[in-house]
Structure 1
Amino acid sequence: MEEEKKLDLNSIIGFVLIFGILIFWFYTTKPTPEELDAEKAKQEQVVEAEETTEEPSQPIEAKPQINLNDSTALAGYKSAVGAFGFTNVADQQTTLENDVVELKVANKGGQIVEAKMKKFVTYDSLPVYLVKDGNAEFAISFSTNDNRVLSTSELYFEPSLSKSGDNQVLSMKAKVSENQFLEYRYEMKPNEYLVDFTVRSQGLNGVLNSSRPVTLDWTTKARRRSKSVQYENRYTRLTYNHDGEKISKLSESSDLDEETEEDVKWLSYRQHFFSSILATDNHFKTAELLSKNLVEEETKEELFTKEYATKAPLELQGGELSYNMHWYHGPTDAQVLDDYKELGLVESIPFGWGIFGWINRHVFTPFYGFLSSFLPYGIAIIVMTIIVRLALSPVTYKSYLSQAKMKVLKPEITELNEKYKDNAMKKQQETMKLYRKAGVNPMSGCIPALLQLPIFYALFMFFPTSFALRQKSFLWADDLSSYDTIFNLPFTIPFYGDHVSLFPILASIAIFIYMTMTTGQSMQMQQQPGMPNMKFIMYLSPVMMLFFFNNYASGLSLYYFISNLITIFIMLVIKNYILDENKIHAQIQENKKKPKKENRFQKKMREMMEQAEAQKKTGKR
């Protein structure tokens, strides 16, 4: 008689745990449809060609304002600005560049007004700009001794470009006189994204009002550069180092998130695969941080994902400013950020939390980097998958062995279920006694599943955030860090999208075959009251894979497709060539003959069940 297709308790617990995490994760990071089409790409190319300038982004928190209707106040403000800066200097820009990045610094404000990546392009082949067309502003606000409030964004700085060895040095000075000035000093090294940035004043101890706060303000609107604005926005986040190397983040999904932190070392305005980071040797004593979500739904028109803002008070030393800082405008790439170990910038990458992040950071990231150094990127994923599955094969063996033992015990379990069908407590007692005599642990199938969870989650974070996969193609997938598309739908399916990805379909088929094989094991536990419908779970898992992974990195779907194929192969080998059910049955019978000593836990459980049974009988009387 053909065996019923059911799952045992061990597999049930394992799958419930794994898919419980999946459901929670996908609920909090809802997948979204593909965003930009060919028409949008053409429109942006026209915009780039014509150099159309957008409205400058407004700071999230307003600066001190002058009443424009008050002619006296307005005249005084203009007089103060004119005395402090070069109002007669043209609003020109000075360029700092090396082989990897090009920065343009404006005379007005002395700030970076354009940051261009020289080795990267967007998904539609446009240049990658982290700063452009007023999407970012850096300014220092201060008060003068005559109680006027000024912002460096309104001052004109005098540029002076020079060389220091192989480094380019740009000095920007807003002068009161030749010996009284506020200076921004930029020093760019060859082939590096990190630029040393010094803020200092000279001779202003009689100009700056030390009793009033000096405040650093930095705002940025993160530019969109991926096919789906919601997918990119999921990995766009403000991350910061504070309170003695603690790494914290503002919410990536809330409409508005604010925090005030102490002892801030660096701030990262992450824009998925690129970041703008401000680090300081003189830690900010406090910093008010804000992240505002600009994406409400999938749209073809949205050009920005989030708006970030930081407000940090600066301390005067002897009435003067002196801060050594660093600007980083570049890729969110572990290999690049690792070069700045003294600043710890690599921690701004979302590797994941706890042991999961450690595995991602120290195992998968360097291992995949090694494989992709001599293999095509898609082949490197397949090779990494094979090695991971082989490393986990002992765990798979343990799980399958547990299922095989449960299968052998099925006739006896069925007999107990029939014998004590009207006494659930007694049935449970006798079942546990049978397990103990046979030397079978019903939880042994769950433990292997738990051991694989760190691997599962680490890989779940690795593929969408690995810079090594960005814009790397494989077969029909144009970008392994984003979803693949084999067909565009003329409509949008909720939770699925307006496109069809093939790798998730293949992964769903593979997981369905795998679950069909595992449900062929003995599933006597399902017949107990309260157990879930395993046939429903068997169909639910592939459907979840199909829907939720349709909008995720194709590299992740490729991994699960290959991983499930390998697992199926390993299980077939174990079943047909390694395990012998007759030998397992004989071993179980031998185990029954041997006296079994209860451990403390088993004894406690038995006593509790006996006590409950006795109370039940007393209650009936």
Structure 2
Amino acid sequence: MEEKKLDLNSIIGFILIFGILVYMMYTNQPTPEEVEAQEKAKQEQVEAEQKVKEIEAETTKTTVAEDFSAAAVTDSTQLVALSNKLGAFAYASTLPSATDQETLVESDLLSLKFSNKGGYLSEVKLKKFVNYDSIPIYIIKDGNAAFNINFSTTDNRTLNTKDLFFEPTVTKNGDNTVVSMKLKVSPTQFLEYRYELKPDDYMMDFTIRSQGLSQVINSSQEVNLDWRLKTYRHAKSISYENRYTDLHYDYEDGKDDYLGQMEDEETIQDVSWIGYKQHFFSSALLTDTPFKTVHLASKNLVEDEQIDTVFTKSFVSKLPLELQGGELNANMDWYYGPSDYKILDAYQRNLDELIPLGWGIFGWINRYVFIPLFGFLSGFLPHGIAIIIMTILVRIVMSPVTYKSYVSQAKMKVIKPEIAEINAKFKDNAMKKQQETMALYSKAGVSPMAGCLPAFLQLPVFYALFQFFPSAFDLRQKPFLWAEDLSSFDTIYKFPDGFSIPFYGDHISLFPILASLAIFFYMKMTTGQQMASQPTQEGMPDMGKMMKYMIYFSPIMMLFFFNNYASGLSLYYFISNLITIGIMLVIKKYIIDEDKIHAKIQENKKKPKKENRFQKKMKDMMEQAEKQKQQKK
């Protein structure tokens, strides 16, 4: 409030002084001779002042007060106002760099702009990439990012670097380009942001340091860094891109986690890096010394994808900076680049965790099998063909599992009449019926779980591929057949503007239709076999009806779910199900002979079957329970 009053008083003073001067000039108009003399004197005064300024510019000042006398701002009232508002940091506002100018620096990969006001990156362009609409990829542009240090001074002021002016200098360090942004208190006292940009590298060194500010910055108060970013939409489907846009972080020496899709906040200890991951592009701030406590926040900005078409999410990180001897000295790194597993993994700083490859065994399969395999195939084949070849290889490797599953179903089908006979014979005795059924399974060498186990073994592979295709940066903007971009949905028909089917979208994609048809015929084959082999248990739900519904429900669900997904994933499922259908037809027609299976089962039934301890114990328990039941009757 005192500062505002002082500013108001200054304005009133200026008005009064100006009024008095006008009155004096009017009442004391000089003669022509006096005017000529005054002009001559004025010119001499200007020349004298210029000489004084040149001398002062060459003289090194040792105090803040002395520096102000050499400042570019000559109006003493303005200097007073700045000093009252900014204290020692008023000096920075008196320099020629105290403008909203930007410094442009480029490498082979990045085009960067640094703002004098705030000293931070005001624009980051990735030079080798464009978005779905052929516009260059900007991670930062037009004020969507903020980078600010909030601190207190020894004269009880609270300042923000985003409001202060930095002085830029650009130099070379070998092949590297160094950008130094200095917030000056004097020529030798400053807060510096130092950026070192390397050729052919998306990672740049970043240092925050101060010099001579131990008596200026209040060390008893926290110094906080605030980094914010609103992520631009880069993909054709904003909802699909938003699904893979999150805030990731690495903490406690190698652990990693991320904030959820909706509005979320967390406070984390010992954080090594923070990553603002968009689907295919990321921003990450890494530190050599972990931040002790970091407050993170994520907010979804897409409520209606017809209206919210510019930004996907808003990310905020608030973290403390430690003073050492009253000075700042934090060594960090910035990453602005593609969310490409190969690039991120090469830094050996756990940044590959930005890519959602799946946890546990799923991530392991992707890292050590599918990523190297697809990288090898796409090195000499078109990406669509590489997907097809990889799918064929996966199905060939998994064919023994498919075979075992189908054989198990065939065995169950063969003994179905005998199961029905047991059900009819012991329909009033559930315990006995269960005993006889288990005995038949044991003698015939058949397990009802044998058909489930192969499917369970295939699950890690299917889920790993489900994670792999949406995360494969190499598929981005790669065409195949009618699909313009294998990392996005393909379109064979676009609905009129404003028309959209809920949960389906405003377009028709062909690859999901083909994949849904393939899975329909696949389920028709496998479910029909299961229905023929699976006896209906009395008192149990009719599994036949449930499976019949699933034949139609699953393809429809897949059709809706995949319409906005990457066409590369739909292509994989289409080819995979086609190959599986082919393998099952070959197995059924040329490999499996149900008569032979039946004969083998009958032969097994004649052989004495050894029981292990568990089977014997279960049998004894069931017999004991049956005896107790009979005694009660």
TM-score bracket for this pair, using the shorter chain length: 0.7 to 0.9
Match of 2:465 in 1: 459
What does 1:205-224 align with in structure 2 at a 5 Å threshold? 205-224=214-233
CA distance in 1, matches of 2:500, 2:627: 60
Q: Deviations over 1:308-335 (max 9, x none)?
A: 1111111111111101111111100012
RMSD: 1.9
Bigger helix share: 2
Does the CA contact (< 8 Å) of 1:80 and 1:148 recur in 2?
no
1:257 to 253, 264, 277: 264
Does the CA contact (< 8 Å) of 1:86 and 1:155 recur in 2?
no
Q: Give the 3-state SS of the residue equivalent to 1:104 in structure 2.
A: strand
Residue 284 of structure 2 corresponds to residue 273 of structure 1: no
Match of 1:115 in 2: 124
Identity of aligned residues (%): 64
Does the CA contact (< 8 Å) of 2:89 and 2:184 recur in 1?
no
Change (3 A) 1:70 1:506: farther
Match of 1:316 in 2: 323
Match of 1:517 in 2: 525
How far off is 1:618 after superposition? 4.4
Residue 384 of structure 2 corresponds to residue 378 of structure 1: yes
How far off is 1:541 after superposition? 1.6
How far off is 1:225 after superposition? 1.4
Q: Deviations over 1:344-380 (max 9, x none)?
A: 2122111111111121222212211111111001000
CA distance in 2, matches of 1:470, 1:207: 50
Does the CA contact (< 8 Å) of 1:86 and 1:158 recur in 2?
no
Q: Deviations over 1:470-494 (max 9, x none)?
A: 1111111111111111112343222
Does the CA contact (< 8 Å) of 1:114 and 1:129 recur in 2?
yes
How far off is 1:210 after superposition? 0.6
What does 1:342-357 align with in structure 2 at a 5 Å threshold? 343-357=349-363
Does the CA contact (< 8 Å) of 2:88 and 2:216 recur in 1?
no
Q: Give the 3-state SS of the residue equivalent to 1:519 in structure 2.
A: helix
CA distance in 1, matches of 2:5, 2:298: 34
Q: Give the 3-state SS of the residue equivalent to 1:129 in structure 2.
A: strand
1:291 to 289, 293, 298: 298
CA distance in 2, matches of 1:84, 1:142: 16
Does the CA contact (< 8 Å) of 1:229 and 1:299 recur in 2?
no
1:495 to 479, 493, 503: 503
What runs of 5+ residues in structure 1 fail to find an aligned partner?
1-65
| TM-score, L = length of structure 1 | 0.86
How far off is 1:617 after superposition? 3.8
Aligned length: 552
Residue 595 of structure 2 corresponds to residue 582 of structure 1: yes
What does 1:518-533 align with in structure 2 at a 5 Å threshold? 518-521=526-529, 522-526=532-536, 528=538, 529-532=540-543, 533=546
Does the CA contact (< 8 Å) of 1:230 and 1:297 recur in 2?
no
How far off is 1:422 after superposition? 3.1
| TM-score, L = length of structure 2 | 0.84
Letter matched to residue 334 of structure 1:
Y
Q: Which moved more, 1:435-444 or 1:300-309?
A: 300-309
CA distance in 2, matches of 1:582, 1:192: 66
CA distance in 1, matches of 2:516, 2:502: 18
CA distance in 2, matches of 1:600, 1:493: 59
Change (3 A) 1:86 1:405: farther
Match of 1:543 in 2: 556
CA distance in 2, matches of 1:269, 1:286: 18
What does 1:169-568 align with in structure 2 at a 5 Å threshold? 169-252=178-261, 254=262, 256-341=263-348, 343-490=349-496, 491-521=499-529, 522-526=532-536, 528=538, 529-532=540-543, 533-568=546-581
Change (3 A) 1:389 1:68: farther
Q: Deviations over 1:459-515 (max 9, x none)?
A: 111111211111111111111111111112343222212211111111111111111
Does the CA contact (< 8 Å) of 1:526 and 1:534 recur in 2?
no
How far off is 1:595 after superposition? 1.1
Match of 2:172 in 1: 163
Change (3 A) 1:513 1:526: farther
Letter matched to residue 367 of structure 2:
R
Does the CA contact (< 8 Å) of 2:207 and 2:330 recur in 1?
yes
Change (3 A) 1:546 1:165: same
Q: Which moved more, 1:481-490 or 1:519-528?
A: 519-528
CA distance in 1, matches of 2:297, 2:231: 13
CA distance in 2, matches of 1:544, 1:611: 48
CA distance in 1, matches of 2:94, 2:600: 92
Change (3 A) 1:315 1:118: same
What runs of 5+ residues in structure 2 fail to find an aligned partner?
9-80
Match of 1:148 in 2: 157
How far off is 1:608 after superposition? 3.8
Match of 1:11 in 2: none
Match of 1:57 in 2: none
CA distance in 2, matches of 1:493, 1:612: 57
Does the CA contact (< 8 Å) of 1:185 and 1:199 recur in 2?
yes
CA distance in 1, matches of 2:631, 2:189: 95
How far off is 1:565 after superposition? 0.7
Q: Give the 3-state SS of the residue equivalent to 2:380 in structure 1.
A: coil
CA distance in 1, matches of 2:108, 2:535: 64
Match of 2:52 in 1: none
Does the CA contact (< 8 Å) of 2:250 and 2:271 recur in 1?
yes
How far off is 1:530 after superposition? 2.1
Question: Larger relative CO (CA 8 A, sep 6+): 1 or 2?
Answer: 1
Change (3 A) 1:310 1:498: same
CA distance in 2, matches of 1:104, 1:583: 76
Q: Which moved more, 1:68-77 or 1:347-356?
A: 68-77
Does the CA contact (< 8 Å) of 1:86 and 1:174 recur in 2?
no
Does the CA contact (< 8 Å) of 1:81 and 1:154 recur in 2?
no
How far off is 1:593 after superposition? 1.1
CA distance in 2, matches of 1:458, 1:283: 32
